[in-house]
Chain A
Amino acid sequence: MKIAYLSSQYPCLSMTFVLREVLHLRGLGWQVGVASINGVDRPPERLTEDERREAAATYYVKQHGVPGALRAHLQAAFKHPAGYLAGWRQALRLGGFSPRGLLMHLAYFTEALMVTTWMARGGYRHLHVHLGQQASTVGLYVKWVTGCGLSITIHGPIEFYNVEQHLLRQKVADADFIVCISHFARSQLMMLSPHAHWAKLLVCRLGVDPARFAARPVPVRVSGAPFQILCVGRLTPEKGQHLLLEAVARLKGLGLAVHLRLVGAGADDATLKALAARLDIVDAVAFLGGVNQDAIRAIYAQADCFCLPSFAEGIPVVLMEAMAMQIPCVTTHITGVPELIEHGEHGLLVPPADLDALVQALRSLVEQPQLCDRLARAGRARVLADYDLPRNVSVFAKLLGERVA
């Protein structure tokens, strides 16, 4: 079985799930080629071994520049004249009355033509795209030009904030099938599509490898040592880390010994550090920056609890990792998260942006080691039952096998 993957950036820290999926599919005997619109997000020396190998084998669209683009236009015009014209028609239609929109769509169209020539060289007949944003818009153009098979994995939530711009209706209508990582993601597409198309929308969950993320030995709390809270995620507004800093300040104000580790890099780095200084909790917060997959487990192993106070999410893989390692989690009841965690069963859920509730939840974990232990065990059991990566990729591979000619 042969399949082409398209991603906006590959490999990429915030989308390690694509890499894991590709490697597992190959392990199942699939021949998977990957195209990436943008170059890698880090210099080679900061990539893991797997990532370096992937980067060497990936087709990077933008690397081929203007000459590559022109060549792709010429080739497509000869090889798929009708599809080529259809592509132009769509670009003009979707660009609408806006010069900026027109330029964007010409770029998507051109990138699609380059992907098309790459697919032809490798003999790929089906394209699978991760995420409902730009990359899948490029995928739509590929489909319009060559009529190849097209499928998309929809994660949410970013694409749901601008459904028109991301052409979600059109994507459901024209893709052969859509893989949703949660019922929530599926519901957002159901809302945009006629009842007749609902059968195209499949749910297949992401997961983690429970052998790799094995239950960590319960950390022995030295008396007086602070309760370690860990948060892993890009430092961006949707992750809500500012709120977590305020919660830590409140907990300290209540006389509780807590310490927070923030793993991740991003645009909010400076404002978070400034806030920590203003709240006078610099000693209680460590900013560890971006950490790759090889080094992350050692950090998880030291955590007493994992907290992700996000305002917007798909179903966060970092939560699955923490749960698999048997760390009690506190997060928000948004989007697909309640599908992973039932409040009080596998972790604690609070309303997003509700500082009081967040402080309360963290406090209950600090003060009740038994609660921590119960949630942690149930959390790992939950991951084993429903978010086991090898099992979920096999399910995904079966879905693909049934649908990809």
Chain B
Amino acid sequence: MHIAYLSSQYPCLSMTFVLREVRALRALGWTIGVASVNDTDRPQERLSAHEREEAAQTFYVKRHLLLGGLHAHIRLLLCSPRRWLAGWARVFRLSGYDLRRWGLQLAYFTEGLMVAHWMRANGFTHLHAHLGSQASTVGLYVRDASACSFSITIHGPSEFFSVREHALAEKMAEADFVVCISFFARSQMMLLSDRKRWPRLEVCRLGVDPQRFSPALRAARVPGAGGFRILSVGRLAPVKAQALLVDAVARLHAEGVIIRLTLVGEGPDRAVIEAMVRQAQLEQVVVLAGGVNQDAILPYFADADCFCLPSFAEGVPVALMEAMAVGVACVSTYVAGIPDLIQDRRNGLLVPPGDLDSLVNALRELAAAPDWAAQLGEAGRAKVLADYHLENNVAALASIFQRRLSALRPTQITP
């Protein structure tokens, strides 16, 4: 199998699932090429070993945008003016007479032409875009320029906040098939598309490697030593609601619960959270550990008494799967695909998003009952082994690719 992947940023801390999927598919003997619209999110020296390997062989679109873009436009105009015009027609259709959006779509069109050129040069005839946002919009233009076959993985939630902006209905119309990472994501695509296209939708879950994320890591841990240790891993951003978690920790601290919170991740909310911590005088209680890459994340999971992700919106968070695989009791929210992963009080705790009282109660309850926390942790690991096992799920994805691609008539890329 020969598949080109397209991502908006690769490798990227908040999308390690793409990297894992690509490497797992390669391990099956497939040829996977990756194009990334933007450069990596960190400088070389802060990448993990796997990420460096990937970065070295990724095609970075924006690095060549000016000359490469001009070249790609001229080339397509000369070779296939009809396709070039089809791309322009889409630019106008998707920008709806709005000048700002017109500029954006023109950029996506240009990037699409460059990806099409790269695919042709490397012999790829199928494009798979991760996420329903920018990367798959670029994918629409690749499709216009090359008539390759095209598929998308939809994660949510950000594409569901601006369904018009992200042209999700148009993507459903163009893609040969769409892989959804949860039934929730599938339901949202069903909502946005004509019923006769529903058969294009597949559900294939993400997963983690339960050998790497193993309870053995926690053998040396002394539960509750130095207080109840809460870990949260995720970009510091409003959608992840770390500010609410700091509010919750402040309440528990004021009640006299001995507690520690470690926030792993970097992001736009850092200043806000630092200010909250200072104002509540929680410097001894809350630690902002910054961004931590996959090579260094395990000790954080090994040490935690509880993992808390109080998000307002999510796909199905891989960080939760990792924590569950390690056997850490998890507290999260009833949003999007999370209730597919966690069943309240069976393999973790769920609270309504934004509900501070419920969040405080859930954390307090866990802090007071270490045995129960251990039981939830074990049940969490069992859930991951059953449904979110990376190897099994990549095998399922591979069979989806195989089945779908063999059903499509192989189409030859023309420039």
Contacts and interface: CB of A to CB of B under 8 A. Distances in A.
- Chain A bound to chain B: yes
Interface string A169-197: 00000000000001110111011101100
A338 B350 CA distance: 10
A212 interface: no
A99 interface: yes
Interface residues of B, number: 44
Interface string B183-214: 11011101110010000000000000000000
Contacts of B192: 237
A31 to B, nearest CB: 33
A314 B303 CA distance: 39
Given A190-B238, A242-B195, A353 B187 contact: yes
B354 A98 contact: no
A183 B165 CA distance: 26
Contacts of A357: 183
Given A333-B339, A338-B339, A188 B312 contact: yes
A183 B182 CA distance: 23
Contacts of A96: 98-100
Q: Which of A162, A187, A312 has the most CB of B within 10 A?
A: A187
Interface in B189-247: 190-192, 195, 238-239, 241, 243-244
Nearest to A274: B195
A333 B338 CA distance: 10
Given A161-B161, A184-B352, A333 B334 contact: yes
Interface in A271-289: 271
B183 A351 contact: yes
B300 to A, nearest CB: 25
B354 A183 contact: yes
Contact of B241 (A191, A242, A311, A354): A191
A163 B101 CA distance: 16
A338 B351 CA distance: 9
Interface in A65-121: 96-101
Nearest to A100: B97
Contacts of B188: 311-312
A353 B203 CA distance: 10
A351 B334 CA distance: 11
A190 B355 CA distance: 11
B160 interface: yes
B97 A195 contact: no
A343 interface: yes
Give the size category of A's interface with B. 35 or more
B241 to A, nearest CB: 7
A237 B334 contact: no
Given A163-B161, A195-B272, A352-B187, A188 B352 contact: no
B164 A187 contact: no
B352 A339 contact: yes
B344 A342 contact: yes
Given A100-B97, A188-B313, A164 B162 contact: yes
B207 to A, nearest CB: 17
B98 A101 contact: yes
A184 B334 contact: yes
Nearest to B244: A190
A222 B302 CA distance: 59
Contacts of A354: 183
A37 interface: no
A186 B354 contact: yes
B353 A183 contact: yes
Interface in B260-293: 272, 276
B375 interface: no
Given A184-B354, A311-B188, A351-B340, A162 B195 contact: no
B250 interface: no
A182 to B, nearest CB: 7
A332 B276 CA distance: 36
Name the residue in B101, B186, B339 with the highest tally of chain A Cβ atoms < 10 Å from its Cβ.
B339
B163 interface: yes
B335 interface: yes
Contact of B187 (A161, A163, A311): A311
B110 interface: no
Contacts of B191: 237-238, 311-312
Interface string B148-170: 00000000000011111100000
Interface string B280-324: 000000000000000000000000000000001100000000000
Nearest to A95: B98
Interface in B61-103: 96-101
Contact of B96 (A98, A164, A187, A352): A98
B339 A351 contact: yes
A353 B198 CA distance: 10
A237 B339 contact: no
A334 interface: yes
A327 B241 CA distance: 36
A205 to B, nearest CB: 12
A165 interface: yes
Nearest to B350: A338
A240 interface: yes
Contacts of B313: 188, 191
Given A182-B352, A195-B272, A162 B339 contact: no
Contact of A190 (B99, B165, B241, B350): B241
A349 interface: yes
Contacts of B165: 162, 164
A190 B243 CA distance: 10
A160 interface: yes
B343 interface: yes
B333 interface: yes
Nearest to A188: B312
B343 A343 contact: yes
A183 B98 contact: no
A183 B343 contact: no
B264 to A, nearest CB: 20
Contacts of A161: 160-163
A339 B97 CA distance: 42
Nearest to A310: B187
Contact of B238 (A192, A342, A349): A192
A182 B195 CA distance: 30
A400 to B, nearest CB: 22
A5 to B, nearest CB: 26
Given A190-B244, A271-B195, A333-B334, A162 B164 contact: yes
Contact of A353 (B96, B183, B335, B355): B183
Most interface-central of B182, B186, B187 (chain A CB within 10 A):
B187
A12 to B, nearest CB: 22
A279 to B, nearest CB: 13
Given A164-B165, A184-B334, A187-B354, 15 more contacts: A96-B98, A96-B100, A98-B98, A100-B96, A165-B162, A183-B353, A187-B241, A187-B312, A187-B333, A187-B352, A188-B313, A188-B353, A237-B192, A336-B352, A338-B352
- Please name the 5 residue pairs, one residue from A and one from B, whose CB atoms are nearest each other, closest first: A187-B354, A352-B187, A187-B353, A97-B99, A353-B187
Interface of B: 96-101, 160-165, 182-184, 186-188, 190-192, 195, 238-239, 241, 243-244, 272, 276, 312-313, 333-335, 339-340, 343-344, 350, 352-355, 358
Interface of A: 96-101, 160-165, 182-184, 186-188, 190-192, 194-195, 237-238, 240, 242, 271, 311-312, 332-334, 336, 338-339, 342-343, 349, 351-354, 357
